[in-house]
Amino acid sequence: LEAKEEFSHKTLAMDVMRPRRSDPSLTVLAQDSMAVEDVEAIINETTYSGYPVVVSRESQRLVGFVLRRDLIISIENARKKQDGIVSSSVIYFTDHSPPLPPSSPSMLKLRSILDLSPFTVTDQTPMEIVVDIFRKLGLRQCLVTHNGKLLGIITKKDVLKHIAQMANQDPDSILFN
Ligand code: ADP
């Protein structure tokens, strides 16, 4: 395959992903240690379309990706219809959840809304390849890892902006139509 000339600049995934070096870190959810109110706070304080789910904040090991709208609907439904779901209920994205002491609030299992194999690339992947993958697979976002740890995210809009910068053109006219 021939490399397309317009993407021959050697920009890497790490140059396009968010967060930028000076930005606050990626907003992630931990798979089994956050309460309903913690996740609601994140939903209210950010506008991202989705959140990577990690084993723990310390490990930054990727577990999956959850869409904001699915989170909102699931939590709303659970609060209305599921017995014992309160602000302090712990959310589990894991397969198995631990037995809880009888006095603790019910847990909220959200594994069913988790995308368990979100697309990922390493931080060293040339943007040329990332653009190609976005096009061919019709991705909305792609996660970026380094040594197996989650580092950042690239959305379709990030890719469009990158292409526009490279080509100095209108972002809406290029990639997907
Ligand atoms: P879009 O890129 O279509 O506006 P988002 O609203 O999800 O989609 O993302 C806005 C910006 O924030 C993008 O530049 C994206 O890379 C970044 N971003 C997306 N999700 C997260 C997240 N969970 N934490 C930090 N930054 C994110």
3-state secondary structure of 34: strand
Which of 23, 9, 24 lies closest to 162 in space, CA to CA? Answer: 9
pLDDT tens-digit map of 37-95 = 999 999 999 999 999 999 999 999 999 999 999 999 999 999 999 999 999 999 999 99
* 88 neighbors 105 (Cβ within 8 angstroms): yes
Residues 6+ apart with CB under 8 A from 62: 52, 53, 54, 118, 120, 143, 145, 149, 150
pTM of the complete model: 0.90
Measured CA to CA, the distance from residue 18 to residue 170 in angstroms comes to 21
pLDDT tens-digit map of 146-163 = 999 999 999 999 999 999
Please tell me the residue having the least CA distance from ligand 1 atom 19: 48
User: How many Cβ atoms are within 10 Å of 97's Cβ, its own excluded?
Assistant: 15
Tell me how far the alpha carbon of residue 49 lies from the centroid of ligand 1, in angstroms.
Answer: 7
Cβ of 27 closer than 6 Å to ligand 1, yes or no, is yes
Measured CA to CA, the distance from residue 23 to residue 46 in angstroms comes to 14
Burial zone of 173 (CB within 10 Å; 0-12 exposed, 13-18 middle, 19+ buried):
exposed
Cβ of 12 closer than 6 Å to ligand 1, yes or no, is no
Q: What is the ipTM of this complex?
A: 0.98
Atom number of ligand 1 nearest to Cα 68 = 7
Tell me how far the alpha carbon of residue 155 lies from the centroid of ligand 1, in angstroms.
Answer: 6
Residues 6+ apart with CB under 8 A from 78: 36, 85, 108
Which of 114, 105, 112, 98 lies closest to 37 in space, CA to CA? Answer: 105
Measured CA to CA, the distance from residue 49 to residue 118 in angstroms comes to 14
